[in-house]
């Protein structure tokens, strides 16, 4: 679990640094919910990974599917709130959300796959 936390922290730093650098260079607009989105996705990914890592292997698939469903519903609500709050720049926020979500999901799946492949 410590390796996951370390890799997640590095991913957060790289994503934040690359996004801020691209904004500073004028390549893209900085999402208005940049910090909120990054914190939400990092925290929820770490929480779900910890929960699934400690889960009983007998119910792992059911728990994984349940967490994915809850996560997608909660993230959908978050994106609706973001779009309604920032009517001027919803595209930058949603694209940033989707990119970070994809990166963190790949990271989570790769670490969970290593864990369940040992059984």
* Predicted pLDDT at 24: 95
Q: What are phi and psi of 52, to 5 degrees?
A: -70, -30
Are 8 and 107 contacting, i.e. CB atoms less than 8 angstroms apart?
Answer: yes
Are 18 and 80 in contact by the 8 Å Cβ rule? The answer is no
The pLDDT value given to residue 59: 84
Q: What is the pTM of this model?
A: 0.89
Q: 116 is written with which tokens?
A: 């369940």
- What sign does the CA torsion over 44, 50, 52, 53 have? positive
For each of the chain's 119 residues, which pLDDT tens digit applies? 789 999 999 999 999 999 999 999 999 889 999 999 999 999 999 999 999 988 877 888 899 999 999 999 999 999 999 999 998 889 999 999 999 999 999 999 999 888 777 65
Neighbour count for residue 4 (Cβ, 10 Å): 20
Candidates 69, 71, 15, 65; CA nearest to 47 is: 71
Q: Which domain holds residue 31?
A: 2-116
What's the DSSP call for residue 26? T
Q: Domains in the chain: how many in total?
A: 1
Per-residue model confidence (pLDDT) at position 119: 58
């Amino acid at each position: 679990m410590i390796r996951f936390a370390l890799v997640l922290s590095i991913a957060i730093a790289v994503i934040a640094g690359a996004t801020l650098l691209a904004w500073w260079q004028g390549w893209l607009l900085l999402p208005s919910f940049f910090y909120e989105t990054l914190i939400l996705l990092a925290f929820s990914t770490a929480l779900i990974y910890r929960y699934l890592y400690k889960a009983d292997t007998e119910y792992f698939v059911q728990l994984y599917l349940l967490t994915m469903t809850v996560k997608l519903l909660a993230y959908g609500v978050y994106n609706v709130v973001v779009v309604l709050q920032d009517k001027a720049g919803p595209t930058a926020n949603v694209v940033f959300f989707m990119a970070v979500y994809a990166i963190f999901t790949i990271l989570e799946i790769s670490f969970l796959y290593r864990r369940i492949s040992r059984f």
